[in-house]
Structure 1
Amino acid sequence: MSVSIDIAGLRPERVTVVPSPLAELGMALHALAEPGHHPELQGWVTSVTSRLDSHLADRMCEADFLWRTTFSDLFLPFAGIPGRGTLPGATLPGATLADDLDLLDQLTDEQFVDAAMEFTCTLNYDVQAPDLLADADARRRALEVAASRGPQQVRFAQRLLDDPPSVRAWLRRFLEDCDEAFFDEAWSRLRHQLTADARHKTELLRHKGLAEALAAVSPIVTVDESAGRILVDKLVQGRTTTAGGGLLLLPTSFGRPHLTVLHRYGWQPLLQYPVGSPEPASAPSVEQLALRMTALSHPVRMRICRHLARSAHTTSELARIHGMTAPEISRHLGVLKKAGLVITRRRGRYVMHQLDVSVVARLGSDFLEGILR
């Protein structure tokens, strides 16, 4: 499985490597919400949470599904705005967080709502989706999925669909307060590293070409020159194109081990890739390795793990996502649970399943990075 980016006719000057303050803030929020995904950031997470204002901490919980269970494209708004100026077909991130937030304000209400509702696990990410603000059936389905996530998501989804401007204003104020509380300090330290990496990748692009630059981004990103496409080896299937636009490459420090591929319909393609070196992984026991590798030997179970690593899902949701029956999914979940890889909890009338990331981390960093990227 992979995400394919059609680059036929893509001119070299339309490939840009540049850091984004807003994208990095989104990854910082994700690291705070899911420290198990980022063990190397444990010290920073502890430092920030220990001095965080209680009111801001409460506000973080109001919509943490925008960065905890999935990385919302709201943190990449420039990809949804048609290009202008000297780089047709591409809009670049801002130099400051305020600049990026101004770009977020330029998204239409339809774009904003569509990106914000990504936590409903829409199946239409890389095809044209119905307008949630105008399509009653799509709105009802989105609220039904939000209900399975709990009352917090229902309240947010209902408010978003009823009054997008108020949610947009709330989000901007929240991100500005996060910047003041902890991110500005982190960004002043990290931006030099990210800028240096962007400069290095730009030199590779200029002197050695796209294939060499992408190989330096990650070994899972390759260029099929005969087919005119980029292939990103991920446990997800998707397609997008640079036709009429460009390709953005965004370095991230907080984001490791995630390699994000934006392939939303109508938005320009984007790769957000980690910089720096990962921490060495601890080895699992032989007994755990044998049992868990057997459980993970099936490709469907690997894809199930990818979804359960990001968010808890019901059996019926997984069946819909994978195009299988509920009994078939239940059998795969049974194997994963027997191996101690999946935790099951009841939430009201819903039975939710989620991957135990700490167990997977002990199994091995290669598999963990594979399902999280």
Structure 2
Amino acid sequence: MSVTIDITGLPHERISFCPSPLAELGAALHALAEPAHHARLHAWTTTTAAALKPELADRLHEADFMWRSTRSDILLPAHPRETLAEELDDLDRMDDEKYVGAALEISCSSRYTHGAPSPLVDERMRRRALDLAAARGPRQAAFVERMLADPPGTRAWVRRLLEDCDEAFFADTWRRVRVQLAADARHKTELMRRKGLAEAVADASSAMALEEDEQGSRIVVDKLVQGRTDAEGTGVTFLPTAFGWPHLFALHAPGCQPVVQYPVPTRDLGGGAPVEAVKLRLEAVAHPMRMRLCRSLARGAYTTSELADAYGITPPEVSRHLAVMKKAGLVTTQRRGRYVLHQLDVAVTARLGSDFLESVLR
């Protein structure tokens, strides 16, 4: 599964790497709302949360569905600006239908790839938005009701909330991280110029790749969701984030310029195993007999015959189980004379938990 961005015929001048204060504020708000996702940010999330005034903390809780379980598209600008105020001004220029549809992404998540009408104009989507908000609690239900009843007033409320976050903690945070993000964006831009887009995309995240064939060119984002969009006539924007890992967001709503928010750095922070590899490894260790075989293979190298004798099964059965584990990358094999010895790759197996968590949070 993956999100695919078709860039066939798109000039590289329309592909940009640039930091965004609004996107970084969204990532920071998510870290505050879900600190368990971001153990490496424990000091920042703990200190910042403790310093929040109760009134601001309450308002953040009221609107946190825009950044808690997913990331509202209004927080991932396709045209980043130098300051948060400029990006909020751009949001103010968005029409109500598009703004509300993007802000209330919970109302159309299952229809995201194909598009869905705004809850402001479609009664069915309106009811869906209210039902889903009600499941999040009475305060969020009341907020969604208010947004649907008074979009201009609620939009002004959201802007004030983000401005108050900027004053309370984000302005200082942005001053500290913007240099790192700008440097990373410049590095990716120079890498794209000198070595090509494939190098720049791979350098941004091991979970992204450029695929090219006779059918065209595509940026493929390895995620546990399926989506496709076309960047023709628009472009692609890559937003580096210091708060994002392990998440990798790909805005691919129909009619919108694709945006990818990638963590900086990535390779130093996690295993980065592809989703398909994680799936194969989970399936491999889920079988009761293979779990028992792992007990021996983790302690030393064994031949097929030794394992068959130890567990009371035939050598061909052992070979079939070993083949599954080798395909998943969990078992290494070495020849010693006329014997072939198998052993569990303990390092790969040890990463399985973190690789799985990164895959589902990506």
The question of a shared fold, defined as TM-score above 0.5 by the shorter chain, is answered with yes
Structure 2 counterparts to residues 1-373 of structure 1, below 5 A: 1-76=1-76, 78-79=77-78, 92-226=79-213, 227-276=216-265, 278=268, 293=282, 364-373=353-362
Is the CA contact 2:106–2:129 (under 8 Å) kept in the aligned structure 1?
no
Residues 159 and 279 (structure 1), Cα distance of their counterparts in 2 relative to 1, 3 Å cut: same
Gaps of 5+ in 1: 80-91, 282-291, 299-360
Write the deviation string for residues 22-81 of structure 1: whole angstroms up to 9, x where unpaired.
0000000000110000000000111111211111111111111111111111112x33xx
Residues 280 and 13 (structure 1), Cα distance of their counterparts in 2 relative to 1, 3 Å cut: closer
Distance 2:95 2:145 in 1: 18
Cα deviation, residue 367, structure 1: 1.3
Distance 2:265 2:211 in 1: 26
Q: Which has the larger radius of gyration?
A: 2
Partner of 1:325: none
Bigger mean CA offset, 182-191 vs 154-163: 154-163
Write the deviation string for residues 214-237 of structure 1: whole angstroms up to 9, x where unpaired.
010111211111132111110000
Distance 1:99 1:142 in 2: 29
Distance 2:59 2:351 in 1: 32
Distance 2:270 2:199 in 1: 26
Cα deviation, residue 364, structure 1: 2.3
TM-score of the pair, normalised by structure 1: 0.73
Distance 1:142 1:186 in 2: 33
Distance 1:211 1:21 in 2: 26
Distance 2:173 2:285 in 1: 37
Residues 296 and 271 (structure 1), Cα distance of their counterparts in 2 relative to 1, 3 Å cut: farther
Gaps of 5+ in 2: 272-280, 288-349
RMSD: 2.1
Query: What code does the residue aligned with 1:243 have?
Result: E
Distance 1:297 1:265 in 2: 38
Is the CA contact 1:133–1:161 (under 8 Å) kept in the aligned structure 2?
yes
Three-state SS of the structure 1 residue aligned to 2:219 is strand
Distance 1:269 1:245 in 2: 8
Is the CA contact 2:108–2:125 (under 8 Å) kept in the aligned structure 1?
no
Distance 1:30 1:5 in 2: 25
Cα deviation, residue 11, structure 1: 0.2
Distance 2:28 2:61 in 1: 14
Is the CA contact 1:2–1:231 (under 8 Å) kept in the aligned structure 2?
yes
Distance 2:351 2:8 in 1: 42
Is the CA contact 1:74–1:116 (under 8 Å) kept in the aligned structure 2?
yes
Cα deviation, residue 153, structure 1: 2.3
Three-state SS of the structure 1 residue aligned to 2:261 is strand
Cα deviation, residue 198, structure 1: 0.3
Partner of 2:307: none
Cα deviation, residue 157, structure 1: 1.4
Write the deviation string for residues 112-163 of structure 1: whole angstroms up to 9, x where unpaired.
1101111235322122312311122221222222222222222111111111
* Aligned length in residues: 288
Is the CA contact 1:4–1:238 (under 8 Å) kept in the aligned structure 2?
yes
Identity %: 58
